[in-house]
Amino acid sequence: MASPITEETLKVSYEQLTDLEKEFEENEVEIIRHQVALNKPLYEKREKILSKLNGFWALVLEQAPPEVDQYIQPSDSAVLLSSLKNLTVSHFEIENGGKGDPRSISIKLEFNENDYFEDAVLEKKFWHRRAKSGWTGLVSEPVPIKWKKPGKDLTQGLLDLVVKVWEEDKKRGPGKGPITKAKDYTPAQKELKKKIETVGMGGVSFFGWFGFRGFPISEEESQAATEKDKENRRLRAEGKPVPDDEEEEEEEDEDEDDDPYGLEIFPDGDELAIAISEDLWPSAIKYFTSAQEQGDMSDIDFEDGMDEDEEDEEDEEEEEAPGGKEPPAKKRKA
Amino acid sequence: MASPITEETLKVSYEQLTDLEKEFEENEVEIIRHQVALNKPLYEKREKILSKLNGFWALVLEQAPPEVDQYIQPSDSAVLLSSLKNLTVSHFEIENGGKGDPRSISIKLEFNENDYFEDAVLEKKFWHRRAKSGWTGLVSEPVPIKWKKPGKDLTQGLLDLVVKVWEEDKKRGPGKGPITKAKDYTPAQKELKKKIETVGMGGVSFFGWFGFRGFPISEEESQAATEKDKENRRLRAEGKPVPDDEEEEEEEDEDEDDDPYGLEIFPDGDELAIAISEDLWPSAIKYFTSAQEQGDMSDIDFEDGMDEDEEDEEDEEEEEAPGGKEPPAKKRKA
């Protein structure tokens, strides 16, 4: 049996484990890089096959796991079913030999002509960043949508306001983050805050996702934080002292007025992006097949091309599906 | 808008997608192979650090996600907390330059002297196999446990009976699978069946997992099925006809007396193995850290080495934990 553990052993081991986690993370990044390159020709092949299956992605979204499905409201569903033409995930920072972070992703939705918005393509980019504080994750920028009429705006004006605030933030100049204290809000920010409270967080449209911004971390801050983190790990590995500036940051944290997520209209935007890129995208054929098996929907959904006039029918079909065949057995089947 | 889809287009596209899925799977196997090799030195480094943290794995198991935790009964927990010394996952078919399947895994538990069983090591191997029918997944062999007294057998005799039936099956000779029809059961199989019904599936001990067998697929069957599958894909890719013998197999399936899982004492054994190897093992530090943060348990659990006399105390400590600090915020924190 091992000898009793002292506080000191625990502290050192704990630091070593934390640093080791970073090494695992670096490996993981390399593995994703390798995986993206290896699978690229297969995804291209898949896109070619899928282009023959009208409505594939709409059906996949309908059959999506809860991590995606929970964000699709019935009114979103109608638009997606009637006009979503294609969905593509790309690791844009490593496309064409780029040396960026393979965890940065772009999700592109292509649409047929529809009653709701002018845009034929909506593309949302997420950059993988590291904050000074040590936090790492995805950040993004709002993507405006050209609604055909105010009444067709599925986000009820939320997205337009996010875009307006974002434009203001950009004008404030580089290096200046967004205003995060409610007492300093601009009129547009106040209006956004009020609208968020009115429209409510529960039922925000899937299209509100295009407004997600996430933690405001610039590329420069991210690079500096990554460099410093590597340097500190190197020092610890060599048993040398590491300059300690964590206290300063903790103080920043303690400002309770500060709410960097106060104006986020789709707070789980990063999680939805991850669910799409790590689950829906690689497993799309599985969800499609499962949809086919569950409802034997092939005859219903795929013999005709769908257009926006068929929305009401679609809703009916959805209700029919559960009455079809049993879902495939969870357990293996010979 | 794409033109309407015919039955024929759908059938061809569907086959192409199914074959494409196999290509993705082959890539995935290569990626796992790469990942295992890349991470090997880090896991060795981790094991060295963890050897200084007495009780690490027991704590991780206590903090495990539901996919693992649901299988640990309170009596299992007492044994694990008091005597689990180490846990290791290895991809044994590719160790030391092996060319096997990187998805085959071995999970090794090491124990301190305890009141329950003699074994210092319990190792459970899972082989990744493909059946003629197309099913792929993990199969295993029962691992006997030398209980110190019948009263200490946490599986209440289930594991011993599984081992007995397995020994009988092996004597029946290679190529002969286990008897899967209840009407043909041997006395030992009948006894096992009865015991499964008595002990009940709900509360089976974690140690019953060592009895998991899974679908009976030999290495030869698996290799033949893999070869044939590749050949069929090649033929389809070249537009050539593929010999059809699926009907024959479907007939086999339709025999309702046939219940290959009728004598499984731990039917989710493969899923637990995957949860351990793909979640608990790579994320162990995360679960450990989260346990530390939640209960601030460092002083409680780690200042003393634990031994079997402290079981009762452990139970008390467990109850204390939730009263500690708040769990770490799910959402990012700067």
- Within a domain: A105: yes
Q: Which residues of A touch B252 (CB under 8 A)?
A: 334
Among B131, B265, B149, residue whose Cα is nearest residue B209: B265
**Contact criterion met (CB below 8 Å) for B168 and B177:** no
ipTM, two decimals, is 0.81
Kindly report, residue by residue over A11-34, the tens digit of the pLDDT.
778 889 989 999 999 999 999 999
Q: Which residues of A touch B50 (CB under 8 A)?
A: 13
Task: State mean pLDDT over B114-122.
Answer: 97
Chain A: nearest CA to B302, how far in angstroms?
6
Amino acid at A276: I
Establish if A30 touches chain B: CB-CB under 8 angstroms: yes
Establish if B27 touches chain A: CB-CB under 8 angstroms: yes
Q: A314-318, B26-30, B196-200, B300-304: which has the minimum mean pLDDT?
A: A314-318
Show the domain range for B79: 23-150+212-243+268-323
Instruction: Domain count for chain A, please give it.
Output: 1
CB interface of A with B, residues 40-59, below 8 Å: 42, 45-46, 49-54
Task: State mean pLDDT over B128-148.
Answer: 96
CA distance A207 to A147: 11
- Within a domain: B164: no
Residue A135 is predicted with a pLDDT of 92
**Comparison of pLDDT for A3 and B67, the residue scoring more:** B67
Give residue B5's pLDDT band: very low, low, confident or very high (50, 70, 90): low
CA distance B299 to B308: 19
Chain A: nearest CA to B276, how far in angstroms?
18
Chain B: nearest CA to A133, how far in angstroms?
6
Among A74, A76, A57, A79, residue whose Cα is nearest residue A310: A79
pLDDT at A127 > cutoff 50: yes
C-alpha torsion angle, residues A266, A140, A210, A200 (rounded to 10):
20
- Within a domain: B69: yes
Establish if B296 touches chain A: CB-CB under 8 angstroms: no
pLDDT at A317 > cutoff 80: no
- Within a domain: B101: yes
CB interface of B with A, residues 122-141, below 8 Å: 131, 133, 135, 137
Are B10 and A38 an interchain contact pair (Cβ–Cβ within 8 Å)?
Answer: no
Instruction: Tell me the CATH number at A207.
Output: 3.30.1120.90
Residue B254 is predicted with a pLDDT of 52
Establish if B198 touches chain A: CB-CB under 8 angstroms: no
Residue B180 is predicted with a pLDDT of 83
- Spatial CB neighbours of A260, under 8 Å, sequence gap ≥ 6: A178, A180, A215, A216, B334
Residue A318 is predicted with a pLDDT of 36
| Count of residues making up chain A | 334
CA distance B100 to B97: 9
**C-alpha distance across the termini of chain A, in Å:** 46
Give residue B76's pLDDT band: very low, low, confident or very high (50, 70, 90): very high
- Within a domain: B2: no
User: HSE of A17 in the Cβ direction (CA atoms, 13 Å)?
Assistant: 22
Chain A: nearest CA to B291, how far in angstroms?
13
Task: State mean pLDDT over B314-330.
Answer: 33
CA distance B298 to B312: 18
CA distance A218 to A141: 11
pLDDT at A93 > cutoff 90: yes
Kindly report, residue by residue over B189-233, the tens digit of the pLDDT.
999 999 998 886 558 999 999 999 999 899 999 999 999 999 999
Distances (CA, A) of A80 to A118, A121, A147, A289: 14, 13, 15, 19
Chain A: nearest CA to B288, how far in angstroms?
10
- Within a domain: A23: yes
- Within a domain: B32: yes
pLDDT at B334 > cutoff 60: no
Residue A5 is predicted with a pLDDT of 63
Q: Nearest CB to B30: which of A38, A53, A286?
A: A38
Q: Nearest CB to B17: which of A27, A49, A133?
A: A49
Task: State mean pLDDT over A281-302.
Answer: 72
Task: State mean pLDDT over A209-218.
Answer: 94
Residue A327 is predicted with a pLDDT of 30
Give residue A172's pLDDT band: very low, low, confident or very high (50, 70, 90): confident
Burial group, residue B36, by CB count within 10 angstroms (0-12, 13-18, 19+): middle
**Comparison of pLDDT for A152 and B249, the residue scoring more:** A152
Kindly report, residue by residue over B254-275, the tens digit of the pLDDT.
566 677 788 999 999 999 999 9
Q: Which residues of B touch A260 (CB under 8 A)?
A: 334
Tally of CB atoms within 10 A around B184: 9
Q: Which residues of A touch B305 (CB under 8 A)?
A: 1-5
- The mean pLDDT of chain A is 83
Task: State mean pLDDT over A125-133.
Answer: 95
